[in-house]
């Protein structure tokens, strides 16, 4: 009799289908970017509602990204100690409470504080999704699973503002947070259905007070650190694009918000296709090399186009190419980083995600310094150079290790 593929945890009576797991991991991965970015089109309306400055309202974005970074540091080690399911459920409960608070926030200060809590809670889904994939897969299969995670991780930050704009036109800014609350309810139900992927025998035996020492071995794993930094700098390009593109497309090129949303959608597809194409490479190291070389080339070309005042179609064509090759990194670097830190998968996933969002919180304000076009181009080039250097260092260490083993 032909057996269907199933995902099995500790219990022989409870199973999750492969389809459920892939959908579940995809939803968890998209969760954080939707929390941070979906409300972006509502910033002017919220500034009017709270009688606050634009900078105060934008702090909601900054603090949610900081929360996403801090939350991954928290939930990663906890998931290594207590398994994946319990921390996921705890994060979802916190998220639902924080989201309700955002809907009924009496002032902007309270709203910003709740956005930080919302970010911490949403981080649980991001960090644990990568850990679950690592629990279940190895090598090529891990790359395929993380290709889905990587594609969604690239598409979601770009697609979320587009969806938020559509919701805003129908319901107002509170409607966006109502949709986020409903998404949280759906994920909570999926968490209840999810069967634990980390057996008790594989969990950390450290006391709770020592749980965060699980990060210590990671910092001595140079290969993991360099791939993590390579990924973080690549994400710097993505977050720089998200922060600058509304102003470049709408103010510099004079296009409408609807046209801006269409450009966003096309670019999101480019990222997703790039992330999916990474699995076509025989070795993920080769995908990283192609990605880094492509990011450096197209970052320089984008910077030159912006500085020279090139037309919208030149800029958009180059951005599609840049975001496509960047998408390769989302799968390849994540696969290589997680594959060399399996014994601390939760903590490794936490550090990988935290540095990415920390990179975004730093880069986003930088593109607005001075001349927007020049600073955006320079930010792209600097991030691409740093990403390439980190990839070179990671692969040089691997080559040296192989040489010593063959000696």
- Domains of the chain, each with CATH number or no CATH: 16-198+213-406 (1.20.1250.20)
d(CA 74, CA 403): 37
Q: Supply the pLDDT for residue 407.
A: 46
Decide if pLDDT at 312 tops 80: yes
Q: What is the phi-psi region of residue 139: left when phi exceeds 0, alpha when psi lies from -120 to 50, beta otherwise?
A: left
Q: Supply the pLDDT for residue 154.
A: 64
Contact between residue 344 and residue 224 where contact means Cβ atoms under 8 Å apart:
no
Q: Supply the pLDDT for residue 400.
A: 55
- Average the pLDDT over each of 71-80, 127-136, 154-163, 398-407 and give the range with the smallest value: 398-407
- Average the pLDDT over each of 128-142, 353-367, 379-393 and give the range with the smallest value: 128-142
Residue 309 CB-density burial (10 A; 0-12 exposed, 13-18 middle, 19+ buried): exposed
d(CA 108, CA 354): 26
d(CA 355, CA 335): 16
d(CA 71, CA 77): 11
pLDDT digits (tens, 9 = 90+) for 82-123: 888 888 899 999 999 999 999 999 999 999 999 999 999 988
Q: SS3 for 16?
A: strand
Q: SS3 for 255?
A: coil
pLDDT digits (tens, 9 = 90+) for 3-15: 444 434 344 345 6
Residue labelled with tokens 């603090």: 63
Q: Supply the pLDDT for residue 233.
A: 94
d(CA 369, CA 375): 6
- Most confident option among 63-72, 291-300, 397-406: 291-300
pLDDT digits (tens, 9 = 90+) for 19-32: 787 778 778 878 87
Q: SS3 for 96?
A: helix
Q: Which of the pair, 8 or 336, is modelled with greater confidence?
A: 336
Closest CA to 334 of 269, 389, 279: 279
Those residues with Cβ within 8 angstroms of residue 32's Cβ, 6 or more apart along the chain or in another chain:
68, 119, 122, 123, 125, 126, 156, 353, 357
The whole-number average pLDDT for the span 233-254 is 85
| 208 CA to centre of own chain | 27
Q: Supply the pLDDT for residue 9.
A: 39
The whole-number average pLDDT for the span 327-348 is 82
d(CA 394, CA 312): 37
The whole-number average pLDDT for the span 133-148 is 69
Lookup: tokens for 7: 């995902």
Q: SS3 for 65?
A: helix
Rg of the chain taking only CA atoms, in angstroms:
21
Q: What are phi and psi of 6, to 5 degrees?
A: -135, 165
Contact between residue 390 and residue 226 where contact means Cβ atoms under 8 Å apart:
yes
d(CA 36, CA 51): 21
The whole-number average pLDDT for the span 219-241 is 90
d(CA 201, CA 203): 6
DSSP 8-state assignment for residue 254: -
pLDDT digits (tens, 9 = 90+) for 313-322: 999 999 999 9
Other beta carbons within 10 Å of 250: 15
Q: Supply the pLDDT for residue 102.
A: 93
Contact between residue 268 and residue 260 where contact means Cβ atoms under 8 Å apart:
no
Confidence of residue 33 (pLDDT cuts 50, 70, 90): confident
Taken in order 87, 93, 97, 99, the sign of the CA dihedral is positive
- β-pair partners for 7: 16
Decide if pLDDT at 403 tops 70: no
Q: Provide, rounded to the nearest whole percent, the portion of the chain with pLDDT above 70.
A: 86
Q: Supply the pLDDT for residue 82.
A: 84
d(CA 172, CA 355): 33
Confidence of residue 303 (pLDDT cuts 50, 70, 90): very high
Q: Supply the pLDDT for residue 4.
A: 43
Which strand (E) or helix (H) includes residue 43?
helix 43-50
pLDDT digits (tens, 9 = 90+) for 177-212: 999 999 999 999 988 888 887 778 877 777 766 666
pTM: 0.71
Rounded to whole angstroms, the maximal C-alpha distance in the chain is 69
Other beta carbons within 10 Å of 254: 9
Across the chain, what does the average pLDDT equal?
82
Residues shown for the chain: 407
Q: SS3 for 406?
A: helix
Confidence of residue 406 (pLDDT cuts 50, 70, 90): very low
d(CA 242, CA 206): 40
């Amino acid at each position: 009799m032909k057996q269907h593929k199933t995902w099995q945890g500790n219990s022989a009576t409870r199973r999750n289908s492969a389809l459920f797991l892939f959908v579940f991991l995809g939803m968890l991965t998209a969760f954080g970017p939707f929390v941070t970015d979906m409300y972006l089109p509502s910033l002017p309306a919220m500034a009017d509602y709270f009688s606050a400055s634009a900078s105060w309202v934008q702090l909601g974005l900054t603090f949610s990204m900081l929360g996403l970074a801090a939350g991954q540091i928290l939930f990663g080690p906890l998931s290594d100690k207590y398994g994946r399911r319990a921390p996921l459920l705890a994060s979802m409960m916190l998220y639902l409470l924080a989201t309700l608070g955002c809907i009924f926030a009496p002032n902007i200060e309270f709203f910003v504080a709740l956005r930080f809590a919302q970010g911490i809670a949403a981080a649980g889904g991001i960090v644990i999704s990568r850990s679950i994939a690592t629990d279940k897969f190895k090598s090529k299969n891990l790359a395929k699973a993380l290709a889905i995670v990587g594609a969604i991780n690239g598409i979601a930050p770009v697609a979320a503002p587009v969806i938020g704009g559509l919701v805003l036109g129908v319901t107002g800014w509170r409607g966006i947070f109502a949709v986020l609350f409903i998404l949280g309810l759906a994920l909570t139900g999926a968490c209840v259905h999810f069967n634990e992927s980390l057996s008790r025998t594989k969990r950390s035996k450290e006391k709770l007070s020592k749980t965060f020492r699980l990060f210590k071995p990671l910092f001595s794993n140079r290969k993991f650190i360099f791939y993590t930094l390579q990924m973080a700098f690549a994400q710097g390009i993505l977050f720089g694009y998200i922060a600058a593109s509304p102003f470049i497309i709408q103010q510099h090129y004079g296009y409408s918000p609807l046209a801006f949303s269409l450009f966003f959608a096309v670019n999101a597809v480019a990222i997703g296709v790039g992330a999916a194409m990474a699995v076509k490479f025989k070795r993920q190291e080769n995908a990283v090399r192609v990605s880094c070389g492509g990011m450096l080339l197209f970052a320089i070309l984008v910077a030159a186009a912006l500085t020279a005042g090139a037309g919208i179609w030149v800029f958009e064509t180059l951005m599609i190419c840049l975001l496509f090759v960047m998408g390769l990194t989302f799968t390849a670097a994540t696969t290589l980083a997680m594959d060399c830190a399996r014994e601390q998968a939760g903590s490794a996933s936490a550090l990988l995600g935290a540095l990415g969002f920390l990179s975004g919180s730093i880069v986003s304000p930088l593109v607005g310094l001075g001349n927007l076009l020049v600073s955006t181009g320079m930010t792209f080039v600097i991030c691409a150079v740093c990403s390439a250097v980190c990839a070179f260092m990671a692969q040089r260490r691997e080559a040296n290790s192989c040489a010593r083993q063959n000696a």
